[in-house]
Amino acid sequence: MLTERQKMILNAIVDDYITSAEPVGSRSISKRGDVGYSPATIRNEMADLEDLGYLEQPHTSAGRIPSHKGYRYYVDHLVPWNSAESAELDTIRAFFAEKLNATEQVIQHAAMILSNMTNYTSILLGPEVFHTSLRHFQLLPLDDRTAVAIIVTSTGQVENKTVSIPPEISLSEMEKVVNLLNSKLVNVPLYKLKSQLYSELGEEMQRHIAHYEELMKVLDTALESDHEQRIYLSGATNMLTQPEFKDVDKVKDILDLLEETPTLLKMLAPASGGTGMQVRIGMENKHEAFANCSLITATYSLDGKALGSIGILGPTRMEYARVMGILGILSRDLTAMLAHWYK
């Protein structure tokens, strides 16, 4: 347990380091208006904080920088929660005032806004189709062997996939099935679609349809992969402006990882159910390349279920308070907007 004075000093060091990116010395802390102690006293406390693991020293004669544990403590106990500047609130308000009417467009645009506002990299996870429901299904023949399957969800997203059709299946059969599907499965959540396809329609189809097996296979692949969420990345190059990444080799690893969509998907997957804000510091991200990065994520949701995430990636030395404030507001407003659209 830290004393009040230790908290105050840790807080001051993190704040200073966040803005300056330089190790901070006892003298500069002591000179701050709200600190009533001499450099020597601060030094003693700093030595203690280092022993406790909250600070570290790049080399003997340098100031201190926060350790991962130090950042963790800062984020968990010290971050001031008031930090949403009015200018930023205005930007967000202006963003929601624009009339955009497709969910995906909103998310994409939000990514840009976020990276511009924060000067970090924004990573947004597009809405999870999984929890939205079927609005309309269509199978449109392109030639005698292939067709394009189109799924429209209740949120107006359109997913499409090209499938190949076995020659023994006739056009009229396909039409029958698609009609059946549309009459019985509309408003079923996509994640239940396949199971309901079998349970509700299986019997009926087996009766009316000649090539049941083959047809089912086609539908299976048509409905299959549409659960892939999209990643919207913006401001990746903002990483290059951070002084800790002025070395090309280090930043290459980071940018390389940002090109790996599957990795990002995993990283942003909404933490099991919770809708709170997550801060992952350094190696908590489980990737060597992100050892000196922090990722802050929040979720937006519909009907209480997380639909997707919005995240900001920056150096561990990142403006936690400001970013958390912005993400909090934006995720809340996105959720509100979705609720307003689709209730």
Partner DNA sequence: GGTTAGCACTCATCTAACCAGAGTGCTAAC
Partner DNA sequence: GTTAGCACTCTGGTTAGATGAGTGCTAACC
Distance CA 172, CA 22 (A): 72
Q: From the CB of residue 162, how many other CB atoms can be counted at a distance below 10 Å? A: 11
Residue 237 binds to a copy of itself (criterion: CB under 8 A): yes
Residues 124, 126, 132: CA angle, nearest 5 degrees: 150
Q: Which two tokens stand for residue 189?
A: 């959540």
Site of tokens 């039409």: 175
Residues 88-127 touching a copy of itself, rule: CB under 8 A, are 101-102
Tell me the site size for DNA, rule CB under 7 A. Answer: 26
Distance CA 294, CA 296 (A): 7
Residue 57 binds to DNA (criterion: CB under 7 A): yes
Residue 138 to residues 102, 135, 194, 221, 259: CA-CA distances in angstroms?
20, 10, 15, 14, 33
Compare residues 46 and 169 and give the one whose CB is closer to DNA.
46
Distance CA 95, CA 112 (A): 11
Q: Which two tokens stand for residue 299?
A: 């979720």
Tell me the site size for a copy of itself, rule CB under 8 A. Answer: 35
Using alpha carbons, select from 63, 68, 71 the residue that is nearest to residue 46.
63
Residue 47 binds to a copy of itself (criterion: CB under 8 A): no
Q: Which two tokens stand for residue 278?
A: 């997550």
Contact residue for DNA among 33, 60, 213, 304 (CB under 7 A):
60
Residue 316 binds to DNA (criterion: CB under 7 A): no
Using alpha carbons, select from 314, 305, 320, 324 the residue that is nearest to residue 239.
314
Q: Which does 136 bind (CB under 5 to 8 A by kind): DNA, a copy of itself, none?
A: a copy of itself
Q: Which does 50 bind (CB under 5 to 8 A by kind): DNA, a copy of itself, none?
A: DNA
In the complex, the smallest distance separating the C-beta of residue 278 from a copy of itself, rounded to whole angstroms, is 26
Query: What one-character DSSP code corresponds to residue 243?
Result: G
Using alpha carbons, select from 269, 258, 330 the residue that is nearest to residue 106.
330
Compare residues 3 and 241 and give the one whose CB is closer to DNA.
3
Residue 47 binds to DNA (criterion: CB under 7 A): yes
In the complex, the smallest distance separating the C-beta of residue 323 from a copy of itself, rounded to whole angstroms, is 20
Using alpha carbons, select from 124, 94, 104 the residue that is nearest to residue 234.
124
Compare residues 84 and 148 and give the one whose CB is closer to a copy of itself.
148
Compare residues 243 and 276 and give the one whose CB is closer to DNA.
243
Q: Which does 44 bind (CB under 5 to 8 A by kind): a copy of itself, DNA, none?
A: DNA
Contact residue for a copy of itself among 3, 19, 20, 164 (CB under 8 A):
164
List interacting residues with DNA (CB under 7 A). Answer: 22-28, 36-41, 43-44, 46-47, 50, 57-64
List interacting residues with a copy of itself (CB under 8 A). Answer: 101-102, 135-136, 138, 140, 142, 146, 148, 150, 152, 154, 156, 158, 160-164, 234-237, 240-241, 245-249, 251-252, 255-256, 259
